[in-house]
Structures are given as C-alpha cells and as structure tokens.
Amino acid sequence: MSKLSIIIPVFFNEDTLMDCYFDIRDKIIPKIEEYEVILVDDGSEDDSYLICKEIALMDNNVKVIKLSRNFGSHAACLAGLYASTGNCATIKAADMQEPSSLILDMFASYKMGNKVVLAVRANREDKSLFSSVYYNAIKRHVNDKMPKGGFDCYLLDKKVIEALKLLDERNSAITLQILWSGFQTGTVFYDRLDRAKGKSKWTLAKKIKLVIDSFVSFSSFPIKVVGFIGALFAAGAGVWAIALISFSFAGIINVEGWVSLMVLMLFSFGLIMIILGILGEYMWRILDVSQNRPVYFIEEEFKNDY
C-alpha cells in the first residue's frame, strides 16, 4: 500500500483554497489507498490560513503548516516535503491551473517504478513569454534535461525527498535540484488552464530572483559570458589603440575626441560593475551557506485529531 502526500503551497489563495480541496476530495481521494494533504501557508496576509484550518477541521488527513513569514515558493515546497509521511509526495498549486486528475497520472507513473514524475505543460491557456524564454534558456545553458515546456508540478519518492534534505540549499530552484539529483524520471503531459479566480502573485522581482538563482546555483554560464565579454573588450581596445597610433603617425587623424573617450570610459565602468555584481552573486551564496540559516521557520502547525 502506497501513501500519497499532496502538498499545497499557499500564498494569498483565499479565493481558490476551498475549491481546490473539494476538487481533490471529489476526484483524487476516492481513487487512492491512503493519503494526506499538507497545506503550507507561506506568510499570506489574507484569510488563507483561516481557510486552511477550516479544511483541516473537515478532514482529519489534512495538516496545516504556517510559516513565520513569506520565505518563497522554494521554502514552502520544502517545508511540505519535509513534513510529509507518505511513500511519495506531490506538489499541487492552489490556483487550480493544473487539473487535479494530473495527480492520478503522476501516481500511476510512480507505481511503474519512477522515483520522480514530472508534469510537463503540453499547452497553456495563459500564454507567458517569460516562461517560454526562461525554460528555453535553462534547457540550453543550465540543464539539458529540463522539459521544453518546463514544469511546476511533480511527484517525488521518499528517497528523493531525503536527497533534497542533504542538499540543504537556500537560494536555489527546487525544480533544478530535482533534475540534478538524477533519479529515474517519468513524464506526464497536461494542458495548463487559465486562472479562474484571484490574481497571480508571481511578480517581476520574483521572476528576476528565479533567473538569478537558477543560473548562479547550477551553472558557470554567467561567469563564462562576462569573461568572454571582458576578453572581447580587451582585444577591441588593443586593436583600437594600435589603429589610433598608426593613423596619428600617418597624419590621417588628430588624436582628440574627449567626448567619445568619456562615453567609452563610462560604458566600461558600467560593464565592470555588472561583472562585479555577477561575481558578487556567487560570493553571496558562499556567505549564505556559511551562515547556516534555516530555509524557513514554522510558526504554527494545526491538525484535527478528533
């Protein structure tokens, strides 16, 4: 008998939480042997936590975890995975853009022997230029095992969850950690639905952080790029200097151009700052690891045991 843990990260999802639970209760729970649902409130400032507790009072197999503040989706997913007691665990978004029946497809693939099952977007009603560009860049420059359409939902065997605990990374991307771990992986496809209720809290700042975390944590590509640019500029400067000296001695031009020189210097200083910023991102992660701070803090846990 395999127990399935269904983990739902929650962040400002008061509009969809109850619908999400009812959807799981009607479509998933009757078709699996044993289950638990773990709701992880990632610092929501609406009524999400109260609704989570209402759901827990309705179902003894529901557990609620409230984080002390918003630590991000990476931490919320880890909190749910670490608290799970099932033979395997799956992540389910509370916004209901992934059909609940997808869980059964992943669970069936797990029973076939896969330790990791990825739910890959075949099509999506909410077109996103960022997602398309991001996943293509990740596949090309970070990990070629990233599915073309990317993935947010997945199912993990208990062994994979234990492996994630050993990684203990803070500023990272859990999806890339899963791919990097290398366990036997299966894939199921689905059509991502448009959001029916509420608004996405996936802000530009969070998107930028995801890009930085993904590249800096799993690839040396940014360093190679700035190294190439630096070498290119050095070579260009050398050629330019030789050309100016030659033209000056030949009397073709007079070496003046104070404005163009200042523009070049300011551009070069800006480029240097960008390079230092990229190197600083790598150094910051070394400092972050050395401080050994927890990925998250749990403020409260709730479960109806009656």
CATH code assigned at 97? 3.90.550.10
Residue 54 lies in a domain: yes
The pLDDT, as a whole number, for residue 150 is 78
Residues 267 and 237 in one domain: yes
Residue 8 lies in a domain: yes
Residues 246 and 113 in one domain: no
The boundaries of the domain holding residue 113 are 3-199+295-303
The pLDDT, as a whole number, for residue 49 is 92
Residues 233 and 263 in one domain: yes
Residues 42 and 89 in one domain: yes
SS3 41: strand
Q: Are 299 and 66 in contact (CB under 8 A)?
A: yes
The pLDDT, as a whole number, for residue 208 is 80
Nearest-angstrom CA–CA distance, 118 and 47: 31
Residues 193 and 299 in one domain: yes
Residues 69 and 94 in one domain: yes
Number of folded domains that form the chain: 2
The pLDDT, as a whole number, for residue 157 is 93
Residues 131 and 225 in one domain: no
Residue 206 lies in a domain: no
Residue 216 lies in a domain: no
Residues 119 and 236 in one domain: no
pLDDT means per 10 residues, the chain with 306 residues, are: 89 89 90 92 90 92 93 88 92 85 91 91 67 80 82 90 83 84 89 69 74 77 78 74 72 62 71 79 75 84 81
Residue 213 lies in a domain: no
Q: Across the beta sheet with 151-157, what order do the strands follow?
A: 185-192, 116-124, 151-157, 88-91, 3-10, 34-41, 62-67, 298-303
Nearest-angstrom CA–CA distance, 227 and 66: 44
Nearest-angstrom CA–CA distance, 211 and 221: 12
Residue 277 lies in a domain: yes
Residues 269 and 165 in one domain: no
Residue 36 lies in a domain: yes
Residues 188 and 276 in one domain: no
Residues 153 and 253 in one domain: no
Q: Are 298 and 79 in contact (CB under 8 A)?
A: yes
The pLDDT, as a whole number, for residue 1 is 66
Within 10 A of 189 (CB to CB), how many other CB atoms are there? 14
Question: Which position has the token pair 């994630």?
Answer: 164
The pLDDT, as a whole number, for residue 201 is 67
Total-model pTM: 0.80
Residues 31 and 116 in one domain: yes
Residue 208 lies in a domain: no
The pLDDT, as a whole number, for residue 258 is 59
